[in-house]
Structure 1
Amino acid sequence: MAGPDNIIDVFLQPGDYFVGDAGFRVSTLLGSCVSITLWQPQLRIGAMSHFLLPARAPGGADDGDLDGRYGEEALALMLDELARLGVRGGACEAKIFGGGNMFARRRCDGGGVGRQNGETARRLLADLAIPVRSQCLFGDGHRQIVFELASGDVWSRQIPAAHGVPPWPGVRA
């Protein structure tokens, strides 16, 4: 849907990813899930994921296709699509968001799935030498994320678990 500024808004559901140019604004809601944004500043082309788990379980169902629900595969899907547009992953800058604890009263040994997702995102980007310019990870509650592909700005608003919604604006990362 195009907004008043003729920017097309895209909302990512869990397991989705998106690659596009300056004509798009991408948003999502994250709990323990994580979003990686990639942005190439000269071309103003970017990508954003919304993954649920770091990787497939060993021995899990695999039909041979990459699946955006898993961090390793979501990043591979974004990099493949960016390459088709002539963008190398190493020419991008990354930002990482999410990995929240959705149950503030429960503490998980090892940090739970949110921490695993965030640490996986960090490791994957480090392994590919993609610089992480900003990150907003962990803590309690969920986040609203808005990625402006024209500028590379990502807005993040964290809502604590079991609390009302704080007034916008969020924090620009």
Structure 2
Amino acid sequence: MKGDTPGAIAANRYYDPDLGLPAVKILPGEHYATGEDRVLVSVLGACIGVCLLDPECAVGGMNHFLLPDTGTRVREAHDAAGHGKLAMDQLLDALYKLGARHERLEARVFGAANLPNALLSPDAALRVVEFVHSYLDSEGIPLITEDVLGEYPRKIYFFPASGKVLLKKLKSLHNETLLQRELEYILYLKRAEVLGPYDLFQE
């Protein structure tokens, strides 16, 4: 079934006159899937963005998340992995509802920059990359391309109709919007750690 994910979490939609396409902006903690000819846009700092695509039926989607910065204790590491699994499972479920088949899925992965942030441990970016690799391996989803880690945030344009990705590394930020959004998201995750078991952004 073509269309957009019913009740998709990402709600920031607009028309991009330069690309000549409807666009959906994916913010921290959000995901979106579509079978329509539109572009999914995200700006990734410390967060990671996973683009999944079924090229046969041209259904694809993107998420934008970060593992809770729990340190290395076993219980906390398990909770962090649970949050990452939820973010990935939500995107998969959205794709299945639009007709994607698991055995045809392929992945493109971006982000997880090593940005200086007092609220994140030094290995936070590496941990989320390792989690995504492990998740894709366990699900048997091939990783087609990735651009992760490093010192610069990235702006991603993902075109599910073709599988094309445009990437721009942001060597200078013109405003603090990206940093503010990720700071608010990190604080949300840390508050959720204190409160205990949770389903982040579950509808």
1:16 equivalent among 7, 23, 30: 30
* TM score, norm. by length of structure 2: 0.66
2:58 is matched with 44
Structure 2: distance between partners of 1:20 and 1:56: 33
Asked if residue 81 in structure 1 is aligned to residue 117 in structure 2, the reply is: no
1:124 is matched with 135
SS in 1 for 2:132: helix
Say if 1:44 and 1:150, in contact at 8 Å, map to a contact too: yes
**AA aligned opposite 2:62:** M
**TM-superposed deviation, 1:55:** 8.8
Q: RMSD of aligned C-alpha atoms?
A: 3.0
Q: Tell me: CA distance 1:90–1:55, structure 2 relative to 1, closer, same or farther (3 Å).
A: farther
SS in 1 for 2:127: helix
Unpaired runs of 5+ in structure 1? 63-68, 166-173
Q: What pairs with 1:105-124 in structure 2 (closer than 5 Å)?
A: 112-124=123-135
- In terms of fraction of residues, the more helix-rich structure is 2
2:109 equivalent among 96, 108, 113: 96
Unpaired runs of 5+ in structure 2? 1-13, 175-203
Structure 2: distance between partners of 1:151 and 1:33: 24
1:154 is matched with 165
Q: Which moved more, 1:85-94 or 1:1-10?
A: 1-10
Structure 2: distance between partners of 1:31 and 1:6: 26
Say if 2:110 and 2:147, in contact at 8 Å, map to a contact too: yes
Structure 2: distance between partners of 1:145 and 1:99: 13
SS in 2 for 1:102: coil
Structure 2: distance between partners of 1:92 and 1:142: 26
**AA aligned opposite 1:27:** V
2:49 is matched with 35
**AA aligned opposite 2:154:** R
**TM-superposed deviation, 1:6:** 5.4
Q: Tell me: CA distance 1:87–1:55, structure 2 relative to 1, closer, same or farther (3 Å).
A: farther
**TM-superposed deviation, 1:42:** 1.5
Q: Aligned pair count?
A: 153
